[in-house]
Amino acid sequence: MILRKPDFYSSFKCIAGQCSDTCCVGWEIDIDEASQDSYRKVSGAFGDKLRQNIEDGHFKLLPHDRCPFLDKGNLCEIYTHLGEGALCDICREHPRFVEVYGDIMERGIGLCCEEAARLLLEGEGPLTFTAEESSEPEDEIDDDDREIRDQVLYEREQIFATLADGSLTLPEKLHDAFGFSVDAPFAPFENAEAYLELLEKTESFGPAWDEALVRIKERIAAGPVQDEGFFSDNESARLIAYTVYRHYAKCLFDGYEQGKRLFAVFFWNVVRFFTCELAGPGSTKNVKVNAIKILSRQLEYCEENMQRIESALDR
């Protein structure tokens, strides 16, 4: 098995209480069976609290969808009482993700995490990937599927190479990788209104997104929409390449090859045209990170929303 990771993967470490957000609010937290068995055996008052707050295989959330084990300092009580090894699978792995394509495994860190977004943007030069041998079990695929997989991964490598080409300007990279002209800044759509129309069709994850969408509507209504200028060309190329890395090869599972490829440009355009609107008031220091974080959470963590976007782009 070959294990592939982006260049910033090994630098990632949860910043816990230093994070302006928390992974422990707003998500249903499923508990794997092995962790449930372990929690049943914990003694004392904390063991009682564990068992009282588990229902139908997940933690019973408090008001405002807050995990019952998130303390006032936004630290995990399970971690502090029992150690990292006691965390259930989703809590231990999130925001990491993994995809397996036969004898190739790819890992990454979701951009709903502000530390992941920061590491991605702060990387020097083009996004690169490491590859190493892994003892993880392979998924069996036949020769025909392997040939198709290799073709998709080859096409993806061509996109990476174009985005990393230092002899090209960013508009030239977008033209060569995706076929978009500098005269069509809203490609793959014609205008900002088309972006808004598609975003409005997605299912909201909560008030933060609803408020961001209102600000986007107001921005469009106020006049011509232009790039807000927060992202450097290198940051833009790294973000586009990383979004291609996360989604494009999954066309092997469910189709939408064109839609998954163009999703990277769609995502980048939304965050660059509506950076402040997504990040919200009071985000002057980490405006780029916060914009990426809220859009990632809205789109990349909802299968229905991803399908809506990819199907609309798959033309």
Q: What is the DSSP string of 2-23?
A: EEEEETTGGG----GGGSSS-T
Whose structure tokens read 């291609």? 244
Q: Tell me whether residue 64 is in a domain.
A: yes
pLDDT at residue 278 in the model: 97
Q: b or e along 295-310 (b: 16 or more beta carbons within 10 Å of the residue's beta carbon)? A: bbbbbbbbeebbebbb
Q: Are residues 288 and 212 in the same domain?
A: yes
Q: Tell me whether residue 201 is in a domain.
A: yes
- Among 93, 110, 127, where does a domain finish? 93
Q: Are residues 163 and 275 in the same domain?
A: yes
Residues 242, 257: Cα–Cα separation, whole Å:
16
Q: Are residues 181 and 249 in the same domain?
A: yes
Structural domain boundaries, residue 81 = 24-93
Q: Are residues 44 and 184 in the same domain?
A: no
Residues 9, 112: Cα–Cα separation, whole Å:
15
Q: Are residues 294 and 184 in the same domain?
A: yes
Q: Are residues 196 and 84 in the same domain?
A: no
CB neighbours (10 Å) of residue 251? 20
All residues at 6 or more sequence positions from 175 whose CB lies less than 8 Å from its CB, including other chains:
181, 182
Q: Are residues 155 and 229 in the same domain?
A: yes
**Structural domain count of the chain:** 2
Q: Are residues 168 and 289 in the same domain?
A: yes
Q: Are residues 185 and 43 in the same domain?
A: no
94: part of which helix (H) or strand (E)? none
Residues 72, 114: Cα–Cα separation, whole Å:
20
Q: Which residues pair with 54 in a beta bridge?
A: 59
Q: Tell me whether residue 105 is in a domain.
A: no
Q: Tell me whether residue 188 is in a domain.
A: yes
pLDDT at residue 219 in the model: 96
Phi and psi for 18 in degrees, rounded to 5? -80, -10
Q: Tell me whether residue 162 is in a domain.
A: yes
Phi and psi for 131 in degrees, rounded to 5? -135, 135
pLDDT at residue 284 in the model: 66
Q: Are residues 166 and 258 in the same domain?
A: yes
Q: Are residues 48 and 153 in the same domain?
A: no
Q: Tell me whether residue 86 is in a domain.
A: yes
Report the SS3 class of residue 131.
Answer: strand
pLDDT at residue 94 in the model: 79
CA atoms within 13 A on the CB side of 19: 21
At 159, list the tokens: 């996109």
Q: Tell me whether residue 229 is in a domain.
A: yes
- Per-residue pLDDT 10s for the chain (315 aa) are 999 999 999 999 877 677 777 777 776 788 888 898 889 889 899 999 988 988 888 888 888 778 888 888 778 888 888 988 888 888 878 788 999 999 999 999 999 999 999 999 999 999 999 999 988 888 889 999 999 999 999 999 999 999 999 999 999 999 999 998 878 899 999 999 999 999 999 999 888 999 999 999 999 999 899 998 999 999 999 999 999 999 999 999 999 999 999 999 999 999 999 999 999 987 667 899 999 999 999 999 999 999 999 999 998
Pair type for strands 2-6 and 54-55: unpaired
Q: Tell me whether residue 287 is in a domain.
A: yes
